[in-house]
Chain A
């Protein structure tokens, strides 16, 4: 079985590194594609700009989406994902520092599948990533894509 790709949308290199470390620590070996702003993420998803490798969507297991992003913010990225027929059913997990109510409400309103707040405590962060990987990569069944 072909391993699926995780799309990590994260502008902070530290967080990117810590997330990758946490994945590694949890033995999640899936390919992780990192987009460093909203525009990059959308380009990747819709295969425009520098990502033109074709239909990547089918390969995606989950999108880990930060909210506070340069150029196009996470909420907008989420909205566009849900607006497009091709990406409509893609699992999106919001992974952010914010605990703001508005973000939570909007996140779910625009169709996020999960909302996870990054704990400051790295141990807790690793644990969160572990559970996240276990759930979305192993337990969760994705809808068939045509």
Chain B
């Protein structure tokens, strides 16, 4: 039965009982009320009877009309009371009948008395005593009988009330008992059906709450608590299912987190080593840094790099970090041996790909070094070959403290790392080569610079020497010439008469030669000066310069007729003094080589060249030259004409060329024998 039903029953029973008790109480109260009412009626009757007695006596004594009227009124009121009383029991009906009868009789008696009095009032003797007494006695008797009846009636009523009250008490007691029994029953039932199972449920929740999801409350009752228990059990089952799922998920997540942690370690190593690759140029330093980073950042207990020795083909550890010494001492791998593949490093080097040993102590690869590796707490290892320009140079080896550390993801990253280190090695190799080449170039440069310095010094010395030489030439070479000339002259003057005919010609020839020698010296000095002197650039008016020179020439030989055509406003950027030498030489040459012509025309002009630069030219219609010898024109001491034909040192054009070259320009000539020559020159 459901608790709800149980409670409903208990409520209905309780309400019914309460209703019954209420009815009983109401009913008994009604009875008591009735009894009291009757009691009051009898009281009134008794009181009325006493008053009637008094009024009777009063009338008897005084015979007043008022008493008689009062008596009548009282009697009527008693009559009314008697009529108002209702009774049911026969005993009471008898009593009440008697009371009514006596009431009527009293009146009759009192009326007799009144009649008597009035009948005898006129008579002096009055009413006979005996009659009067008999009537009064009768009246009193009747009254007493009435009082007695009334009392009796009242007594019966009160006895009835008492009885009904007693009955009501009994009933209330009974029903109270019933309530107690019902309540006790219900509470017992609730205790049994609710509290106990709830306690059990509570215990169950505590057990399940403590983590035992296998516990079942197992209540079989069909009430709500039973349903609750079953739901609870169901829930526990579902909870367990989801808990198992959750646990599985957590495990999965933990594994993923672990993987991420691992990858992060590897990433950190990759990133730091890559930074180191950028920073560190020296391979040995890079190896050491890489191993150190693997241990510090990657938390690998051991990392080392081994290189294959070219000569012995043995793997030689070159850098390591972590717990390495005792382990590395054990490493003895030679590629010369028949492939044994007892070690990942060996395998990595032979197969040119990474080789892993994921559980040291179980995998076969590490056999010879297993014991010591295990002692060092190394549980898995991986080796990555370092390949430079297609050649295996060594391997990068990493050891992890946990088994199965290296899986696909890590290997992918670490392969990349090995590639990066390989690349750095290649780079370093190239860098070394480049540095060596650089060093050589630098050495050569230094040597060259040294040579330049030496050459410059030599050149300076040579220049100094040349200067000294020029100075010496200027002074010392001319002095003897002057002596030769002077004394030749003196000879002629002082001993002229003794030197005759041919002799005089000899003296003339001596003096001419002397003069030519002097000219030559001067020309040489000019050439040397042109080479040595510093160039000061300024704008030089070539037209004006040409005119001055032409005027000078005309002055020296006023008898010569020549037409000068000088273009106006020709300027050039150059050293004024040197350009003067150029113009003097070129115009001088034109003047000289037209000396045997008539209608001489000497022209200064300019023309734009193919490259847009301006070329100046000096053109004459003089002796000209054979273009076959054009290349000889500008050489020092080169002459295309005999001294007899045209005087000259053969240095003039060499000087011109040197000056033009020193200005960064070019000079060239065109000519035809007997038609004239044109000399072109440009400036930078």
Contacts and interface: CB of A to CB of B under 8 A. Distances in A.
A15 B479 CA distance: 7
Interface in B246-279: none
Nearest to A67: B475
Given A100-B470, A101-B529, A122 B486 contact: yes
Given A68-B471, A120-B485, A125-B482, 20 more contacts: A12-B479, A14-B480, A14-B482, A15-B479, A18-B486, A96-B475, A97-B474, A97-B479, A98-B471, A99-B525, A100-B471, A101-B533, A118-B478, A120-B481, A120-B482, A121-B511, A121-B515, A122-B488, A123-B489, A125-B486
Interface in A11-30: 12, 14-15, 18, 21
Q: Name A's interface SS.
A: loop
Given A99-B522, A100-B470, A121-B515, A15 B475 contact: no
A21 B490 CA distance: 9
Contacts of B458: none
A97 B522 CA distance: 11
B476 interface: yes
Given A18-B482, A120-B481, A98 B474 contact: yes
Nearest to B470: A100
B518 interface: yes
Interface in A66-80: 67-68
Interface in B455-511: 470-471, 474-476, 478-483, 485-490, 511
Interface residues of A, number: 20
Contacts, number: 67
Contact of A120 (B487, B490, B514): B514
Interface of B: 470-471, 474-476, 478-483, 485-490, 511, 514-515, 517-518, 522, 525, 529, 533
B523 to A, nearest CB: 12
A23 to B, nearest CB: 13
Contacts of B485: 120-122
Query: In the complex, which of the residues A12, A96, A101, A121 has the most CB atoms of chain B within 10 Å of its own CB atom?
Result: A121
Interface in A108-146: 118-123, 125
Contact of A14 (B486, B522, B525): B486
A135 B44 CA distance: 203
Contacts of B470: 100
Most interface-central of B479, B487, B488, B533 (chain A CB within 10 A): B479
Nearest to B478: A97
A21 B487 CA distance: 10
A98 B476 CA distance: 9
Nearest to B492: A122
25 contacts: A12-B479, A14-B479, A14-B482, A15-B482, A18-B487, A21-B486, A67-B475, A68-B475, A68-B476, A96-B475, A97-B474, A97-B475, A97-B476, A97-B482, A98-B475, A100-B470, A100-B471, A101-B529, A120-B482, A120-B485, A120-B517, A121-B511, A122-B485, A122-B490, A123-B489
B514 to A, nearest CB: 6
A111 B94 CA distance: 198
Contacts of B471: 68, 98, 100
Contacts of B511: 121-122
A14 B480 CA distance: 8
Contacts of B518: 120-121
A68 B488 CA distance: 24
